[in-house]
């Protein structure tokens, strides 16, 4: 597994910290060697048509413009990250520069919100009823993207498109979580129609969505417990929760910020978040509240976008457990400096998840159809793949090309450094980037410096990885 720095659009900076690359085989799921499918037809399963790609392809092809070289069949897509050279017995020996377009139909018995998770190396997309639910396209190392779909009772089309670029690491894992249920590997055997064909002639028509939905219209009675916690002396701290404020671009005389909350895993998964931001005079500058839910035993997260003028603020936050009434609070000073000229850089954020979203959301954590979920307290468990995400904001008035210096420190010691020129910004004026670093135990610091002409700016992220 190599350390890689890449532009979000899919451009890799080859060779970054190549001396730290680890030649590792990913573990299988314990059921034997994972495959993309076989030439034996699987009734009610997925049919995958295999296509050749031209060397150097960065994206999924337009399949309608190509002819498949053969087909394979499977009931599940469960190829965890691994080295792969065997090709497709009975179809082709090719193990790089190929694409597979899987199609099938599934029966939904219980209507509701179905969550999907798609991990791939390289690119992939998930469609439900021919509508894009997850976009994980582009050449990249193993990355997981998530989305969800509102599905009605009946038959639905499912399609997973996948491509493999240069040799020789592959990954393709599709998971699903039924309404109110835990994640499991998607298998068509779990979505078979009833035996009576007359009961399933129609197909569901609800469009899928991929978004984080926040209910902002609930009665404000839910905030009373949080307000009481903030006004208590001393303020309660009944359970742990983490909060961080991440910096983004300056917009005119104001600056973008994102407040991210995370409640560590517990037996409860239903909380109410409340936050208020006061200026130096104690006047209310912003306020936010939301109910958040998750799966018991997993972190529960929430976030809020801010746009604040320069000044000093106090962020007061409270989290209330809706299952038991326990509460915890946090008071954080927040300083927004005056906008400055020259090149800019966002916070360097360690990211837990990258998810496809639809729509143009006014949120700095959403960019070009992708939402990121930063970790406010990056203490990673053993084996976790550390992934950082940040934006570079070039100086539009400078003719100089921006450059990036990435430094990796292990336990306070510099172990790698690389300097690269950056590409032009996207239509928003930003250069989104993400980076993967070694999944090795220890205390780490990732230091990013952006330089353009005589101007420079540095941001860093510190994180730790537990030993096995």
**Residue 114 sits in a domain of what CATH number?**
2.60.120.1560
| Claim to verify: residue 191 and residue 104 sit in the same structural domain | yes
Q: DSSP class of residue 167?
A: S
Domain boundary among the residues 150, 175, 209 is at: 209
pLDDT at 180: 78
pLDDT at 222: 63
**Residue 269 sits in a domain of what CATH number?**
2.60.40.10
Range of the domain at 182: 33-209
| Claim to verify: residue 183 and residue 44 sit in the same structural domain | yes
| Claim to verify: residue 344 and residue 431 sit in the same structural domain | yes
- Residues in the chain, pLDDT under 50: 1-32, 200-219, 360
Domain count, the chain: 3
Tell me, rounded to whole angstroms, the distance of Cα 72 from its chain centroid: 30
> Alpha helix (H) ranges present in 221-312?
224-231
Peptide bond into 450 cis (omega under 30): no
Sorted by sequence, the CB contacts under 8 Å of residue 424 that are 6+ apart come out as 431
pLDDT at 158: 96
Tell me, rounded to whole angstroms, the distance of Cα 299 from its chain centroid: 15
Contact 71, 48 (CB under 8 A): yes
Residue 368: C-alpha distances to residues 4, 140, 255, 318 (Å) = 21, 17, 20, 31
Domain boundary among the residues 273, 307, 339 is at: 339
| Claim to verify: residue 165 and residue 76 sit in the same structural domain | yes
Domain boundary among the residues 209, 236, 258 is at: 209
Instruction: State the Cα angle at 63 between 57 and 64, rounded to 5°.
Output: 135
pLDDT at 203: 42
| Claim to verify: residue 16 and residue 67 sit in the same structural domain | no
| Claim to verify: residue 37 and residue 156 sit in the same structural domain | yes
| Claim to verify: residue 281 and residue 349 sit in the same structural domain | no
pLDDT at 269: 73
State both tokens at 377. 């307290």
pLDDT at 217: 32
Q: What are phi and psi of 223, to 5 degrees?
A: -85, -10
**Residue 379 sits in a domain of what CATH number?**
2.60.40.1930
| Claim to verify: residue 7 and residue 47 sit in the same structural domain | no
CA separation for the pair 387, 231 (Å, rounded):
38
Q: DSSP class of residue 90?
A: T
Contact 176, 184 (CB under 8 A): yes
**DSSP bridge pairs for 456:** 451
| Claim to verify: residue 278 and residue 292 sit in the same structural domain | yes
CA separation for the pair 369, 361 (Å, rounded):
9
| Claim to verify: residue 54 and residue 119 sit in the same structural domain | yes
What pTM does this model have? 0.58
| Claim to verify: residue 43 and residue 182 sit in the same structural domain | yes
| Claim to verify: residue 76 and residue 182 sit in the same structural domain | yes
> 95, 94, 101: which is closest to 126 by C-alpha?
101
């Amino acid at each position: 597994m190599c350390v890689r720095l890449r532009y979000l659009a899919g451009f890799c900076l080859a060779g970054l910290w190549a001396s730290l690359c680890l030649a590792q085989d990913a573990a299988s799921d314990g059921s034997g060697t994972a495959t993309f499918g076989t030439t034996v037809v699987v009734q009610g399963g997925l049919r995958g048509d295999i296509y050749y790609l031209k060397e150097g392809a960065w994206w999924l092809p337009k399949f309608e413009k190509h002819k498949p070289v053969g087909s394979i069949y499977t009931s599940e897509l469960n190829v965890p990250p691994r080295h792969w050279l065997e090709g497709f017995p009975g179809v082709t020996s090719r193990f790089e520069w190929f694409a597979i377009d899987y199609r099938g139909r599934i029966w939904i018995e219980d209507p509701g919100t179905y969550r999907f998770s798609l991990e791939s190396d390289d690119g992939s997309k998930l469609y439900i009823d021919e509508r894009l639910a997850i976009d994980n396209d582009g050449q990249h190392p193993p990355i997981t993207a998530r989305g969800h779909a509102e599905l009605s009772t009946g038959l639905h089309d499912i399609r997973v498109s996948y491509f493999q670029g240069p040799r020789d690491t592959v990954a393709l894992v599709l998971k699903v979580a039924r309404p109110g249920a835990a994640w499991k590997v998607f298998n068509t055997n779990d979505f078979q129609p009833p035996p009576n064909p007359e009961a399933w002639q129609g197909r569901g028509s609800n469009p899928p969505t991929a978004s984080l939905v926040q209910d902002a219209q609930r009665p404000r009675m839910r905030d009373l417990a949080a307000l009481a916690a903030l006004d208590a002396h001393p303020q309660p701290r009944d359970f742990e929760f983490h909060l961080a404020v991440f910096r983004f671009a300056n917009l005119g005389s104001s600056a973008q910020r994102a407040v991210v909350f995370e409640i560590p895993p517990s037996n409860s998964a239903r909380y109410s978040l409340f936050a208020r931001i006061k200026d130096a005079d104690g006047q209310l500058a912003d306020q936010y509240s939301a109910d958040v839910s998750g799966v018991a035993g997993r972190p529960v997260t929430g976030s809020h976008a801010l746009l604040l003028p320069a000044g000093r603020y106090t962020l007061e936050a409270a989290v209330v457990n809706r299952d038991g009434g326990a509460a915890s609070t946090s008071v954080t000073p927040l300083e927004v400096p005056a906008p400055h000229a020259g090149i800019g850089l966002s916070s360097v954020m360690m990211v837990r998840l990258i998810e496809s979203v639809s729509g143009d959301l006014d949120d700095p954590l959403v960019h070009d159809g992708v939402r990121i979920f930063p970790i406010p307290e990056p203490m990673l468990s053993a084996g976790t793949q550390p992934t950082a995400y940040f934006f570079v904001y070039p100086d539009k008035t400078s003719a100089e090309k921006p450059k990036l210096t990435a430094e990796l420190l292990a336990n306070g010691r510099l172990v790698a450094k690389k300097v690269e020129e950056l590409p032009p910004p996207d239509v928003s004026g930003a250069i989104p980037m993400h980076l993967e670093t070694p999944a090795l135990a220890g205390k780490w610091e990732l230091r990013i410096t952006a330089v353009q002409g005589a101007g420079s700016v540095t941001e860093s992220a510190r994180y730790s990885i537990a030993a096995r």
